[in-house]
Structure 1
Amino acid sequence: MCGICGVVGHRPATPIVFEGLRRLEYRGYDSAGIATVEHGKLSRCRAAGKLDNLKHALEKTPLSGTTGIGHTRWATHGAPTTQNAHPHHAGQVTIVHNGIIENFAALKQRLETKGRSFETETDSEAVAHLLDDYIQQGLSPKDAAFATIKQLQGAYAIAMIFEGHDNLLIGARHGAPLAVGYGEGEMFLGSDSLALAPLSNQISYLEDGDWCVLTRDHVEIFDAHGDVVHRPIQTTSLTTGQIGKDGYRHFMEKELHEHPVAIGQTLQRITDSVTRRIALPPMPFDVATLPRVTITACGSAFYAGMVGRYWLEELARLPIDIDVASELRYRNPPQPNHGLALLISQSGETADTLGVLRELKAAGQHVVSVLNVEHSTMGRESDLVLGMVAGPEISVASTKAFTAQLSVLAALTIDFARQRGLIDEAKERELTDSLLDLPSHAMEVLGLFDQIRGMARVIAQARDILYLGRGICMPIAQEGALKLKEISYIHAEAYAAGELKHGPISLIDPSVPVVAIAPSTILFEKTLSNLQEARARGGRILVFTDAKGAEQLKDIAEHIIILPDVNAFVAPILYTIPVQILAYEVALLKGTDVDQPRNLAKSVTVE
């Protein structure tokens, strides 16, 4: 959600910043802009819409200078217009801002009484005027920046450049991520390491309240009190190649094909290759006496958590409380002493999940996070991180990160069940082997694109879709419905198949396809009965099942996709892949923007 890239260096800044913004497109945006300072003079160029519009604007109005900042904006305050696009300028300063300034109205009113005029509808412009007001009072850029951020309430990541200062770039963060990249004779700011990947592999992640002063040869970082602090410089393994499409039409298509690698690499990290046993790091608590687990996440990660609930309840016999983070942080449920908070996030920066983390930690819960970006804010604030190895996920719709999350949760379940004495060595080996066999089965599923495309043709013609699943397959039905809504804009709802007669069956007619997640090993007879009821009412039945299930469904299903036979334990992971492929194929038929669907952002870093 929004993206920042900045540089202070010795090369022309505009092409560096522009390419940084290209790498941040995955976060979602609806306008963009760049500003530079050359010979002490500030200049900027902005455009509504995609970065190609900004590129054309820059061709007409080139920006020179070796210090610059850029921004991709996802509209919150004010429409996505050129006027509201960042960077924002006031007097002797230009800024870009991610997040929401909660007290901007009060700041704006105070500044207007001083005779200042505002040109935009954004909350961010108040930051620029406040910063310039301190400059006009005679403060240095460094002191003005510190005075400004002390006045701000809410979430922000800010980059600032100043008239008369070609060799200066200041950044600040609170509640929204910001990283510093170290180069030779140049320094960089970025919303995440992806923005900086081709520029520097030496990264420092600012912590909440931090602000930094960058010149070509020096970085100085301060905390919220203005004291100098040292944040570790970490080496990132991200490369330009990892964030390219590699010949695929879309990042989502590429990432769908990376399911086997994401699952395999994640499992390789958390299993012993010699003994073929789960090898998670030691838990900071006694698993045997754990009173309760609270699982929370947002979006697809929440559905991964729901699958984790089924596993942990059934195999580890743990009581589970689960809720979406945006609700849990305001529900204030009672927490047992020394319970476990299990949080799931691809980015590790999801605002609501991060807020819950802090509240649960304050309530005395042990915090374990399942993350794809371990050096994120959530990673730094957790007691333990169980890291996925999914690699960068650029498409807004999460795919491979979801199956990697499930792989970690499955391994965690086996580990907990073993430590609690609820499975013997033979059962442990059976479950672990089924996990380790998944990458090869995932490769088989990737050979089903053509068959799934035939199913997609039915879906693409419909306005409404029902997804059905039972037991642990229910969250996979929800994931399928979410993916379809996200990227094809077709209305889809997921229901527990047993609930069909309690209302949703009234929706079924020949115009409403029914997609079922129905492996023969999971409550199949019950699901079959529900599908027969739907078929009797004219529903078009589309099913993902295995060979045994297909034999029983052949007389009622219009389309059947046969998946490899796998242990019921890992079926939710495998069945995720084809429902995601289905959404992708439907989106292609509908001609939507697959990687950057309307109104959505990859990383939701504000409420």
Structure 2
Amino acid sequence: MCGIVGVIGKKNTTEILMQGLEKLEYRGYDSAGIYVNDQAGHDYLVKRVGRIKNLEAAVDDSIQGTLGIGHTRWATNGKPSVANSHPHISNDERFYLVHNGVITNANELKRQYLLDIEFASETDTEVVVQLIALFAREGLSAKEAFRKALTMVDGSYAFSLVDRLTPDTLFVAKNKSPLLIGKGDGFNVVASDALAMLSETDQFVEMKDEEIVALTQDGIAIETLDGTPVHREAFTVKMEEGDASKGTYPFYMLKEIDEQPIVMRRLVKKYTNDRGEVELPKPLLAALKAADRLYIVAAGTSYHAGLVGKGLFEKLAGVPTEVHLASEFGYNQPLLSEKPLFIFLTQSGETADIRQVLVKVKAQGYPTLTITNVLSSTLAREADYQLGLYAGPEIAVASTKAYTAQVAVEALIAQGLGEAKNHREAEAFDVVHQLGLAAAGQQALIDQKDAIHDWATDLFSQSRNAFFIGRGTDYDVSLEAALKLKEISYVQAEGFAAGELKHGTIALIEQDTPVVAFISDPKTAAHTRSNADEIAARGAKVLRIATESQSSEEDQLVVDDIDPMLAPLLMIIPGQLLAYFTSFDRGYDVDRPRNLAKSVTVE
């Protein structure tokens, strides 16, 4: 995921671009660049590796214009470098392009049309800008060359294009990647997120997939790829709403599912230094090192995130870890170790049964850490230490991005603690790289919404019950996926350890019973696959979801590879989407399921 900004018709374009990129830096920060044109024959291209501050240092007062595009990048095609950073430029130096997304047929297009072109980068984006330039040299206008290229590319994209020969127009297009048009008085802007341009306008126009837009300082011309004009009214984003705006999404839950790749990258930025090393507050790190056992206390989705965290802390940091339901721990405290440290996982920071435990263990003198999405909350204020999830407002009752954020923060803490203890497993693990893989893999799954929607319809449209199975962390995912389905679609769903089915639960399997099998761990993949075959032989309708290295021809959905400890960050995405589409198709209020509230403030 990357961030895009664009401006036309403003004298302070450079300043607006830089401020916008700073607000979008959570989307990517391994390189950044801007292109500015004064529409009078002068233009400037500046690109730098690293965070936005490196670009800021290279942009002086001489770089001014009234048209510009900017980009902040998280590397997908090609390593972080000036050559691979955006904007990309065509060989004839006519076109400049910024891009968010992945073009899946870039290599095929390169081989078919661009064999005689010398490429300056390793990116799929440069393939597109060179293709546009090729079509323009053949006689097409900039807009038509852009349109022709768009009809040929496969994959996800948000593009912003400048033609030096027509610097009074900014061209944009999108498919599966977010992009909004901001409408001003005598100017217009474009951005991946309204947050980047809220200082300039609160009026935004939605862009739909496979549309091409020509922006001038006074006009917005939207067309479909076949040339059909589209008129669309602007909507208002209030300054105080920011990230909490639902925008053009039908439900907050879908928006929050889509935001998860961004959250992964934001957390890496928040918890690592410029050298890419995990950096925890020193007092907290000292307290963690002094503990002989960690006790994770949580509820619901946070409890499931804690189950994943147990494996991370034990493997990466070598510290025994227990996970407890807050509602049980509060009345049935187990025998504790000599030097325990308590970790409270909570999205809202206001969960009543968790606070009961916090008060109880603080009275006993034990150190406490709250990990929450709301650092101003009661649980954050009252704990000895606090760490944020930085997931942005989560409005839907069914938690999605807070779950994956909790797992990611646990991984970052475990890595930092393990390195501080010189634990061998932590020194061999690269959490920053793994979270990068997670973000890319999550986006790839999010881009397959249509296929997942079809599976949701096939599996759950008529069902009153369902099962999710897996082993190890896949069992943890099964619990969370089942919770998502039951809480918003009211299907009786249960997560089971796959090996336990034959110890009783398989008796419930009958013709067309829906079962989702998660298969990611090489140690147990063959066993889980065998369990899936057992229930299929008894009439179940089985959806198999496997990582690429553990996949087989019978699997319907193949997920990118990642370390098995962090596989839940990917495997849960289809689980969330299956629940969302099942609820949506049944006509329910996805964001506000019956009998539930976002913050549980009673025991």
The question of whether the paired residues in 1 share the 8 Å contact of 2:343 and 2:371 is answered with yes
Counterpart check, 1:453 vs 2:442: no
* 1:533 match: 534
**What TM-score do you get using the length of structure 1 for normalisation?**
0.58
- Could you tell me how far 1:498 is from its partner in structure 2? 1.1
Amino acid corresponding to residue 569 of structure 1 in structure 2: M
1:282 and 2:282 correspond: yes
Pick from 569, 575, 579: which aligns with 2:575? 579
SS, match of residue 277 in structure 1: coil
Alignment of 1:346-495 (within 5 A): 346-423=347-424, 427-428=428-429, 430-457=430-457, 458-495=459-496
Alignment of 1:304-323 (within 5 A): 304-323=305-324
Amino acid at match of 2:596: L
CA contact (8 A) 2:460 2:582 kept: yes
**Partners of 2:601 and 2:424 in 1: CA distance:** 40
1:343–1:522 distance in 2 versus 1, CA, 3 Å: farther
CA distance in structure 2 between the aligned counterparts of 1:522 and 1:267, rounded to whole angstroms: 29
Farther off after superposition, 576-585 or 308-317: 308-317
Q: 1:40-79: CA deviations, max 9, x gaps?
A: xxxxxxxxxxxxxxxxxxxxxxxxxxxxxxxxxxxxxxxx
Deviation at 1:425, TM superposition (A): 7.1
Deviation at 1:286, TM superposition (A): 4.5
Match of 2:589 among 576, 579, 593: 593
- Which amino acid is 1:562 matched to? V
Instruction: Give CA deviations for 1:75-122 in whole Å, capped at 9, x if unaligned.
Output: xxxxxxxxxxxxxxxxxxxxxxxxxxxxxxxxxxxxxxxxxxxxxxxx
Question: Shift of the alpha carbon at 1:580?
Answer: 0.4
Contact 2:349–2:373 (CA<8 Å) still a contact in 1? Answer: yes
The one-letter code sitting in structure 2 at the alignment partner of 1:275 is R
Q: 1:471 to 1:447 in 2, by over 3 A?
A: same
Q: Distance in 2 between matches of 1:248 and 1:532?
A: 38
Structure 1 pair 520–304 and aligned structure 2 pair: CA distance change class (3 A)? closer
Deviation of residue 410 (structure 1)? 0.8
Q: Is the 8 A contact 2:311 2:565 kept in 1?
A: no
Q: How far did residue 426 of structure 1 move?
A: 5.2
2:566 equivalent in structure 1: 570
Return the offset for 1:518. 1.0
1:289 is displaced (CA, Å) by 4.0
| Displacement after TM superposition at 1:242 (Å) | 2.0
Within 5 Å, give how 1:185-204 maps onto structure 2: none
The answer to whether the Cα contact below 8 Å between 2:315 and 2:425 also exists between their aligned partners in 1 is: no
Change (3 A) 1:314 1:538: same
Contact 2:326 2:357 in 1 (8 A): yes
Distance in 2, Cα, partners of 1:425 & 1:265: 21
Q: Secondary structure at the match of 1:437?
A: helix
Contact 1:431 1:569 in 2 (8 A): no
RMSD: 2.1
Q: Structure 2: which amino acid aligns with 1:303?
A: H
**Contact residue 522 and residue 568 of structure 1 kept, 8 A:** no
With over 3 angstroms needed to count, the CA separation of the structure-2 counterparts of 1:425 and 1:401, relative to structure 1, is closer
User: Using a 3 Å threshold, how does the CA distance of structure 1 residues 238 and 519 change in structure 2: closer, same or farther?
Assistant: farther
* 2:265–2:435 Cα contact (<8 Å) kept: no
Alpha carbons 2:473, 2:565 under 8 Å: kept = no
- Cα gap change, 1:425 to 1:290, in 2 (>3 Å): closer
Q: Residue deviations 1:559-600, cap 9 Å, x none?
A: x11111222232111111121011001111111110100000
Contact 1:456–1:582 at 8 Å: present in 2 too?
A: yes
What is the DSSP-based 3-state SS (H/G/I as helix, E as strand, rest coil) of the residue aligned with 1:602?
Answer: coil
Is the contact between residue 316 and residue 416 of structure 1 (CA under 8 Å) also seen in structure 2?
A: yes
The 2-side partners of 1:578 and 1:264 are apart by 20
Alpha-carbon deviation of 1:288?
3.8
What amino acid maps onto 1:506 in structure 2? A
SS at structure 2 position matched to 1:294: strand
Alignment of structure 1 residues 259-338 onto 2, 5 Å: 259-272=260-273, 274-284=274-284, 285-338=286-339
Mapped partners of 2:595, 2:455: distance in 1: 27
Distance 2:404 2:474 in 1: 14
The question of whether the paired residues in 2 share the 8 Å contact of 1:316 and 1:417 is answered with yes
The alignment-based identity, stated in percent, is: 37
Distance 1:321 1:425 in 2: 20
Asked if the contact 1:335/1:363 (under 8 Å) is kept, the reply is no
**1:520, 1:548 within 8 Å by CA — same for their partners in 2?**
no
- In 2, distance between residues paired with 1:432 and 1:523? 26
C-alpha displacement of 1:335: 2.5
Distance in 1 (CA, whole Å) between partners of 2:250 and 2:536 is: 36
CA offset digits 1:274-301 (Å, max 9, x no partner): 3212112224444444211111111101
C-alpha distance in structure 1 between counterparts of 2:483 and 2:493, whole Å: 7
Aligned residue pair count? 366
Report the secondary structure of 1:492's partner residue.
strand
Following TM superposition, by how much is the alpha carbon of 1:240 offset from its aligned partner in structure 2, in angstroms? 1.4
The letter for the 2-side match of 1:606 is: V
Amino acid at match of 1:447: D
**Secondary structure of 1:361's aligned partner:** helix
d(CA) in 1 for partners of 2:263, 2:239: 15
> Given residue 584 of structure 1, which amino acid in structure 2 is its aligned partner?
Y
The structural deviation recorded for 1:520 is 5.2
Instruction: Read off the aligned partner of 1:311 and give its amino acid letter.
Output: L
Post-superposition shift, 1:420? 2.4
Distance 2:390 2:523 in 1: 29
Shift of 1:547: 2.9
Q: CA deviation at 1:326?
A: 0.6
Tell me the secondary structure at the aligned position of residue 448 of structure 2. helix
Letter in 2 for 1:268: K
Once the 2 structures are TM-superposed, how far is the Cα of residue 436 of structure 1 from its aligned partner?
A: 3.1
| Deviation string, structure 1 residues 176-229 (Cα, Å, up to 9, x no partner) | xxxxxxxxxxxxxxxxxxxxxxxxxxxxxxxxxxxxxxxxxxxxxxxxxxxxxx
2:244 and 2:392 in contact (8 A); partners too: no
Query: CA offsets per residue over residues 252-311 of structure 1, 9 Å max, x none?
Result: 111111111122212210112x32121122244444442111111111011001110122
Contact 1:338 1:364 in 2 (8 A): no
Q: Please state how far the C-alpha of 1:449 moved relative to its aligned partner.
A: 0.5
* Residues 75-90 of structure 1 mapped to structure 2, 5 A cutoff: none
Distance (whole Å) between structure 1 residues aligned to residue 504 and residue 283 of structure 2: 44
TM-score (norm 2): 0.58
CA distance in structure 1 between the aligned counterparts of 2:290 and 2:311, rounded to whole angstroms: 19
Structure with the bigger RCO (C-alpha within 8 Å, sep 6+) is 1
Shift of 1:522: 5.3
Are residues 292 and 496 of structure 1, via their aligned partners in 2, closer, same or farther at CA, if it must alter by over 3 Å? same
Post-superposition offset of 1:361: 1.4
Q: Which residue of 1 aligns with 2:522?
A: 521
- 1: CA distance, partners of 2:534 / 2:449: 29
Which amino acid counterpart does residue 296 of structure 1 have in structure 2? V
Question: Is contact 1:520–1:545 with CA below 8 Å preserved after alignment?
Answer: no
Shift of 1:544: 1.5
Q: Distance in 2 between matches of 1:566 and 1:597?
A: 33
